[in-house]
Chains A and B, each alone.
Chain A
Amino acid sequence: MKISDAIFGIILIVFSVLVLIYSRTLPSLPGYAYGSGFFPSLTAIFILGGGILLLVRGVRAKQPLLVLGAWTKSPKLISNICLIPLNLVFYILVSDKLGFILTTFLMMTATIWWLRKKVASTIIVAAVSAVITYAFFAKLMLVPLPAGIFGI
């Protein structure tokens, strides 16, 4: 999915201007002209410069604003790519309540089933993977994974 340089340029220009405005509100070191805001301002100036160059380049080259990748033509591939961030959002929302094993089991069941469409083997693979991952990290490596209402 190719986004035009001009669009990136506009986003970067807006972002850097906001950073510059915010940086001006940060206090300086007593007796000096620079302080907490100096370094962020410096980075913002370079991002602003880069943004302007991209904008000019994108407009001059008359690039199309958006060129969709080959995967956007396939509803299956669109779902595949969306599945990854959705899995992470699901984990963030429910893992504290359901615990690590149950959350990862549900995530893997949904993902493997979607990619493969075979129910029985999907459940077995998801269950075994969830339990082994939990045993390895929580029991062997002593990582304090979310316990949830069931305590696992």
Chain B
Amino acid sequence: MLDTVIEALGIVLKPNILLVMLASSCYGIVIGAIPGLTAVMAVSLIMPIAIFLDPVPALAAIIACDAMAVFAGDIPGTLLRIPGTPASGAYTDDSYKLTQMGKAETVLGANCFFSAVGGLVGLVVLMTSAPMLAEVALNFSTYEYFWLACLGLTCATFMTSQDKVKGIISLFLGLFITTVGFDAITGQARFTFGVTELLGRIHVIPVLIGLFAVSEIMRRVSSTTPPAAMYDGKIKHIYKGIFKVWREHIPQFLRGNTVGVIVGALPGAGADIAAWLAYAISKKFSKHPEEFGQGSMEGIIESTSANNAALASAWIPAFVFGIPGDVTTAMVIGILYIKDLKPGPTAFLHHPEIIYSVFICFAIANIFMLILGYFSIKAFRHILRIPPFMLLPIILIFCIVGAYSINNSLFGVGVMLFFGLLGYIMEENDFPISPMLLAIVLGELLEKNFIISMVKSGGNWVDFFSRPIAGTLGVLTIVFWTLPVIKNIYKKCRAAA
């Protein structure tokens, strides 16, 4: 293992990789700090560049960009009461109230410091658990993979959807999309209607750029919300007294990181859910729940630790099983396939240096955050001055290059356009997008493992539950699906009684 770590250090600690990380960190900060532009959008726009980089710089760019964008989302939340990313939304009111009380420096310092430390805690969990889980996963058969994919999609659907019916529809539309093209088992063309480009299946990158970036641009250019007011206060030493704040909030820090790593590691969940859940838990255990929403430092520390801890642990299911932990790792899996690096337990045997390089990149990104975070808060005023009329057309050109470069074909741009319009209509009508994207990433794996399992078992469903891990995952999946129905029936029965 030591040899692999040294080899990975040799790969990462090169000027070109550090430069890529620095550039993508700055880019992540700019996008994350602009109200309305999300961390997912930042990462999806880095895809056109990542496709053409070597695997390690590509992954380093994604890691740095994602971590910085999630942190930077806290800045407009604190200074303008407009969360930069959904993950920051949980504690925006508290941050802003504290800013009004003249504590902007303390809040921003805490955001940056606890985000970075949370990221490092998530990394430690990733480093220790992923290799162990990979050893277990080496014994997985098609049954385990089938149920794992089902469980991941189930979590993604039920945890990210306010409206469960619309979440389920989004999930199955995503699964349907993966059936377009050649069937991996039989070689039969499906739903292609003579269009040659469709034979090779619909690639996930143009789809995600369409769903997350093009639809967001459409929302921004048609927004009736007035532009954010400029913050006119002064910000000096954000880390002043940070260790005192840490000592006073040890339970919140520990609990936030625990929630973050657990939620992040759940297939399909992610930083946004981790932040909201950590905030709710913090309020539940607080001695001063009445302060939540009115300027509670406890809620801020617990949630901001959780969202960055979740970023690293979301890579656990992605690396170990090839099942994305969140939307960002879904994109990472797309990139890994392009680079011919199949994620899964065998990656730990065949490409351990890449895995350890990713661990090191996470550590560097979080150290960068402590330094760049300081400067980004200072530069926030200038970031807000970037005029949207310039930024949005340039983002659109990036989207085009990303979609085009998958197959060097305009078909990719057409796919992006279609999914941009679909994403816009879906979001306007409360259909969650994440289940669809995760279904597109996992659909092929799900179908392949399902059909192979059916052939192996001769169509006997009982075999799907015959192995201990497969059986447990299967029962868990079924419980997740049936629990809301049972709860509903129980409620109706009680109301009738």
A residues contacting B by CB (< 8 A) are 1-3, 8, 12, 19, 22, 26-27, 29, 32-40, 43-44, 46-47, 50-51, 53-54, 57, 69-71, 74, 77-78, 80-81, 83-85, 87-89, 91-92, 95-96, 104, 107-108, 111-112, 115-116, 125-126, 129-130, 133, 137, 141-146
Contact between chains at A38 and B218 (CB < 8 Å): no
Nearest CB to that of A100 among chain B residues? Answer: B401
Please tell me if the beta carbons of A36 and B416 are within 8 angstroms of each other in the complex.
Answer: no
Question: Are A27 and B186 neighbours in the complex by a CB distance under 8 Å?
Answer: yes
A91 x B175 contact (CB < 8 A): no
Provided the pairs A43-B172, A92-B410 are in contact, do residues A35 and B188 lie with their beta carbons within 8 angstroms? Answer: yes
The 10 closest A-B pairs by CB, nearest first: A115-B389, A50-B169, A80-B221, A71-B222, A36-B188, A81-B222, A141-B52, A46-B172, A43-B176, A111-B393
* Segment at the A interface, from B90-98, B117-125, B450-458, B468-476: B450-458
In this complex, what residue of B is CB-closest to A4?
B429
A-B contact pairs, 29 of them (CB 8 A): A1-B429, A3-B429, A8-B429, A29-B451, A39-B175, A40-B190, A43-B179, A46-B168, A47-B169, A47-B172, A50-B169, A50-B172, A51-B169, A57-B165, A69-B428, A70-B224, A71-B223, A87-B396, A88-B413, A88-B417, A92-B410, A96-B410, A111-B389, A116-B387, A133-B398, A137-B405, A141-B52, A143-B48, A144-B408
Interchain nearest-CB distance for A119 vs B (Å): 14
Q: Which residue of A lies closest to B400 (CB)?
A: A91
- Once the chains are docked, how many angstroms separate the CA of A46 from the CA of B150? 14
- B39-54 interface bits toward A, Cβ cutoff 8 Å, 1 = contact, 0 = none: 0000000001100110
B414, CB-defined interface residue at 8 Å = yes
Name B397's contact: one of A22, A33, A133 (CB within 8 Å). A133
Q: A54-B165, A88-B417 are in contact. Are A3 and B425 (CB under 8 A)?
A: yes
Hey, which chain B residues are within 8 Å of A37, CB to CB? 190
11 further A-B contacts with Cβ under 8 Å, apart from A29-B185, A29-B186, A40-B179, are: A19-B176, A27-B186, A43-B175, A44-B176, A69-B222, A71-B223, A77-B221, A88-B214, A112-B390, A129-B393, A143-B48
Distance in Å from the Cβ of A138 to the closest Cβ of chain B? 9
- A60–B293 Cα distance when bound, in Å, is 36
Cα A1 to Cα B398 in complex, Å, equals 27
Contact of B447 (CB < 8 Å), options: A39, A50, A96: A39
What is the distance, in angstroms, from A127's C-beta to the closest C-beta of chain B? 13
Q: Are B451 and A39 in contact (CB under 8 A)?
A: yes
Report the Cα distance A142→B389, complex, angstroms: 28
Q: Does B173 contact A (CB under 8 A)?
A: yes
In the complex, which residues of chain B have a beta carbon less than 8 angstroms from the beta carbon of A36? 183, 185-186, 188, 190
Size category of the B interface is: 35 or more
B174 to A, closest residue via Cβ: A43
Q: B322 within 8 Å of A by Cβ?
A: no
**Distance from A104 Cβ to chain B, minimum over Cβ atoms (Å):** 5
Q: Chain B 381-411 against A: per-residue CB contact (8 Å), 1 yes, 0 no?
A: 0000001111011101110110011001010
Task: Please name the residue on chain B nearest to A33 by beta carbon.
Answer: B459
B188 touching A27 by the CB < 8 A rule? yes
A84-B396 contact in complex given A35-B188, A92-B414, A115-B221, C-beta closer than 8 Å: yes
Question: Shortest CB–CB separation between residue A40 and chain B, in angstroms?
Answer: 4
Given contacts A32-B454, A57-B165, contact A143 B188 (CB under 8 A): no
* A55 → chain B closest CB, angstroms: 11
Could you tell me if A108 and B52 are in contact, using CB atoms closer than 8 angstroms? Answer: no
Docked complex Cα distance between A47 and B408 (Å): 33
Task: Please give me the residue from chain A that is nearest to B447 by CB atom.
Answer: A39
CA distance A16 to B384 in the complex (A): 46
Q: Which residues of A contact B221 (CB under 8 A)?
A: 77, 80-81, 83-84, 115
Residues of B within 8 A of A38 (CB): 451
